[in-house]
Each structure stands twice: as structure tokens, then as C-alpha cells.
Structure 1
Amino acid sequence: MLITGANEHRESVIKLLDSAKLPAQDLPVSLDSFFVAIEHDEVIGVAGLEIYGNYGLLRSLVVLPGYQNQGIAGRLVAKVEDFAGQNNLKAVYLLTETAFGYFNRKGYEKIIREDVPVPVQASTEFSHVCPVSAIVMKKELI
């Protein structure tokens, strides 16, 4: 399995997000900070990072059902976090309705929306796409 940049795989990323009922309509024009997992020339997973000043927003993490529970999501999250670190981000935030336990095991802590930096709060994920009921999580980067 190969983890690589997502720019050349936009259509596959959109198809994968749609299949998982995750938002794709607000994807950035450039997917420079999105990564895909590829197996047999097929995109089987994706994870993205939106950058807002010194902070990142982890979004769009999905792995095809037939490839789940094989560590692919973990490798994608690690790639996003590594990218965030290389770009000197202070923390990564995310919203989840279904994966609190997963991200908690990855070192993310539940926080309240008001503790999220204003630029991240202004993102479409926070302001329009994800419901208010979504759990907000944060991971400090060293």
C-alpha cells in the first residue's frame, strides 16, 4: 500500500467521501495537504488537513470498508500529523460524530467549541458542514 498526495486523485477522493456520507462540496481547490492510500491503483483511503494560520483541521478521514481495521486510517492520520509538524503547526483540531474513541486513542482530547482558534472556527467544516452536536477534539503538536 502506498500513501501519497491526493492532488492527482480528486475524483476518487470525492467518490470515497460521498460513499462515506462525508462532505466533499467544500474541498479546497488544491489538495496539497490531503493524502490518499492506494492499493492496486485504487484509492482506498483519504485524510486531509486544512491549515488556518498556526493550526490545522483534520478532516475527511475515511477508509473503504474492505480495508478497515488494517491500520490504514492510522497511517493516514500519522501522515497528516507529520505534515502539520513539518509546517510548524501548534495543534490539530477535528470534528467527529462517530470516531471519538478512535481519535482519543490517537492522543486527541475532547474540548469545547469556544476553545478552538477563531480562524478554525470560521472554516466551512465548523461553521456550516458539521452539526453542532459533533464532538470537537484537539491534539497539541510538539
Structure 2
Amino acid sequence: MRAHIERYVVARDNAGLLGCAGIEQYGSVGLLRGLAVAQRARSAGLGELLISTIVADVRQRGVESIVLRTTSASAYFARLGFAPITTSEMPRALLPLTEFPPGNTAEGIVMQTAL
């Protein structure tokens, strides 16, 4: 995994950590590893800012789509342009990764967006 880590973005203020997001690159596919925003910073657009910062960076590195798995934020990511995908739609570069169970199961929904 360490060889694929491309970018982590962290937002802070004087009181500490506000949010972070991370992405790994597998050829032309980005795998969003995480997005977290502190409770005190939610509803201010910080999550969207973190995602857009990462997207701008990986787009320049040749990433053409981003995939993620979520257990609780599918509606949020849908608003950002992500759509659920099935195992048959999974980019080949991600198929060897063990965190993607077959289909959209209770372990989460797999989503993708084209850049």
C-alpha cells in the first residue's frame, strides 16, 4: 500500500486538526482512502474542499477516475458526483485489493466518479 500513497491533505486551525483526506493511485485510478472532518468544522464545505484539492492534484498525475467505499456517506458522495458501481464495473487496477467485497454488501457501497 505504501507504494501507492500519493496524497494526503490535512486542514488545521489554531485549535488543531479540522479534517483530512487521502488517496492512493493505481495507474489511472485513484482510490480515496479516507475523508474525515471534525464535528466543529462540518457543514462549512471543508470536506468538499479537501476532495477538490486531492482531485486537482491527482488529475495532473494522470488519474481519470476515483473510486471509494463508504458505509455511511453515499448520499454525501453522490452530491459530489460519485455513483454506485458493481463488481463488474470495478476498474481492473483495483480488483486485487482485498477491501472490495463482491457487490455492494453490508460492508459498504463502492462508488466512482470520472474526472
TM-score when scaled to structure 2?
0.85
The residue number in structure 2 matching 1:139 is 113
TM-score when scaled to structure 1?
0.70
Deviations 1:91-139 (A, max 9, x none): 0001011111111110111111221123223235436xxx943111111
Unaligned regions of 5+ residues in structure 1, if any? Answer: 1-25
The residue number in structure 2 matching 1:83 is 57
Unaligned regions of 5+ residues in structure 2, if any? Answer: none
The residue number in structure 1 matching 2:39 is 65
CA shift at 1:32, angstroms? Answer: 4.5
Change (3 A) 1:61 1:55: same
Deviations 1:2-35 (A, max 9, x none): xxxxxxxxxxxxxxxxxxxxxxxx7x37864111
* Greater per-residue strand proportion: 2
RCO greater where, 1 or 2, for CA within 8 Å and sep 6 or more?
Answer: 2
CA shift at 1:89, angstroms? Answer: 0.8
**Aligned residue-pair number:** 112
Identity %: 29
Moved over 3 A (4+): 28-32
The 8 Å contact of residues 56 and 120 in structure 1, kept in 2 or not, is answered as no
